[in-house]
Amino acid sequence: MRIIDSHVHVLNNYAPMEPFGDIGRVDRLLHLMDGAGVEMAIILPVVAKFSPDNNTECAQWARQHPDRLATMTDIQLHEPNAAELVINAKETYQSIGISYYPNSQDISWVLKEEHKPIWDAFSKTQLVCNLQVTPANHAIFVTLAEQNPAVNFLCNHLGLPGAFNTDNPNYNSLSPAQRLDNVYIKASAFYAAAKEPWDPKCPQALRYLSELIQLFGANRILWGSDWPPTGNHLTYKQSLEIIRVFSGLRENQRNLVLGENAANLFGI
Ligand SMILES: [Zn+2]
C-alpha cells in the first residue's frame, strides 16, 4: 500500500514556528516519513518575507529526493503575470501543481473574463490547482470548477470548516461541489477545526470526514499531514494514524485516501 502525504511545508526558517524556526527542515521530514512508513510527500512552498526563495528551494529538495518528494509551486494567481508563471512552472520547478493562498477575503475576481488565461494555463499544463478556499468563497469556487471542467482543483484542509459541530453554518458547505468530478478535497489539518486538536481519535472530525466521503466518494479525498504546523498538536505519525487506525474507513477507502488518489491525481 502506497502512503503519500499530500500537504507538507519544507523550509529552513519557518517564522510562525519560532522559537523552533528550523522545525521544517527537509532532513527532519524525511526522518519522520521513514518512521511512519510514508513513501512520498507533496510540498506546498511557503513564499513569504521569511522564505522568499522557497519555490526554488523546494524544487531543489524534490530533485534531490525524487522518490520521496514532489513539489507544487506557490503562485500569486491574482497577479497580472500569473498565467505565464503557471505555464512555466513545470519547466522551472518540475512542479506537479500550483498552490495559491488568496491574499483577500473575496476571490470573486477568479470568475472575471480578464483572468481566464490563468485557467487556460492550468488546462494546458494539466497542473493541479491547489486552493485555500474558505466557506465565504465556496460558492464562487464551485462556479469556477464548473466553468473549468478540464482543470483539477484540490481544496486544502476539508474546505476549512472552522468547526466540526453540526450547527456550524459552514458544516459541509462544500457539498455542492460533489457533482463536479474535477474537485478533490484534502483530509488534512484536522487540528484547525477540532475542539480537542491533540486527540488523534477526534470523533467529531472523523464524523465530518466520513460524511465528506459519503458526499464525494473516497476517490476524491486525499490525506495530508500539514506538517510542520500539525506538530504543535500531534506527532507526524499520529497525523497519519487519524486515517489509518482511527477513521473506521474500509480498507479500499483507506488505500485511496492515504495514497492512491494522490498518485492518480498528480501522476506520481
Ligand atoms: Zn499547510
Distance 150 CA to ligand 1 centre (A): 26
Give the whole-angstrom CA distance, residue 118 versus residue 79: 10
User: What pLDDT is attached to residue 163?
Assistant: 81
Residues lining ion ligand 1 (Cβ < 5 A) are 226
pLDDT attached to residue 196:
86
What pLDDT does residue 188 have? Answer: 94
Stretch among 49-53, 242-246, 256-260 having the lowest mean pLDDT: 242-246
- Give me ligand 1 centre to Cα 117, in Å: 27
Reported as a pLDDT band with limits 50, 70 and 90, residue 203 is confident
Binned at pLDDT 50, 70 and 90, residue 78 comes out as very high
Percent of the chain with pLDDT over 90: 85
Instruction: State mean pLDDT over 79-99.
Output: 97
Cell numbers at 98, concatenated: 500550483
pLDDT of 201 strictly over 90: no
Structure confidence at residue 224 as a pLDDT band (50, 70, 90): very high
pLDDT of residue 180: 97
pTM reported for the whole predicted model? 0.96
Cβ-based neighbour number of residue 139 at 10 Å: 14
pLDDT at 79 (0 to 100): 95
pLDDT at site 228: 97
* Lowest-pLDDT choice from 28-37, 98-107, 124-133: 98-107
pLDDT for position 4: 98
Query: Which tens digits make up the pLDDT trace of 133-185?
Result: 999 999 999 999 999 999 999 999 998 888 888 888 888 889 999 999 999 99
Please name the CATH architecture into which domain 4-266 falls.
Alpha-Beta Barrel (3.20)
Distance 46 CA to ligand 1 centre (A): 9
Assign 60 to helix, strand or coil. Answer: helix
CA of 85 to the centre of ligand 1 (A): 22
- Ligand 1 center to 59 CA (angstroms): 17
Average the pLDDT over 107-121 and give the result.
96
Q: What residue segments make up the domains of the chain, in order of their start?
A: 4-266
Instruction: Kindly give the distance from the C-alpha atom of residue 9 to the centroid of ligand 1, in angstroms, as a whole number.
Output: 6
Q: Please say whether the beta carbons of 250 and 30 come within 8 A.
A: no
Of the candidates 190, 188, 187, the one whose C-alpha atom is nearest the C-alpha of residue 233 is: 190
The secondary element (H helix, E strand) that includes residue 32 is helix 26-36
CB atoms within 10 A of CB 18: 11
Residues 223, 147: Cα–Cα separation, whole Å:
26
| CA–centroid distance for 219 within its chain | 15
Classified as helix, coil or strand, 130 is strand
Distances (CA, A) of 48 to 57, 67, 110, 133, 219: 13, 27, 22, 19, 33
pLDDT exceeds cutoff 90 at 105: no
Mean pLDDT of the chain: 95
* CA gap 127, 182 in Å, rounded: 12
Cα 242 to Cα 3: distance, rounded to the nearest angstrom: 13
**Residue with cell string 514532489:** 70
Task: Evaluate whether 93 touches 43 at the Cβ level (below 8 Å).
Answer: no
Cα of 58 to ligand 1 centre, how many Å?
Answer: 14
Residue 160 alpha carbon to ligand 1 centre in Å: 11
CA of 226 to the centre of ligand 1 (A): 5
Q: Ligand 1 mean position to 7 CA, how many Å? A: 6
Angstrom distance (rounded) from CA 112 to CA 135: 20
The closest of 75, 79, 213, 92 to 132, measured between CA atoms, is 75
Give me the pLDDT at residue 195, please: 83
The per-residue pLDDT for 67 is 98
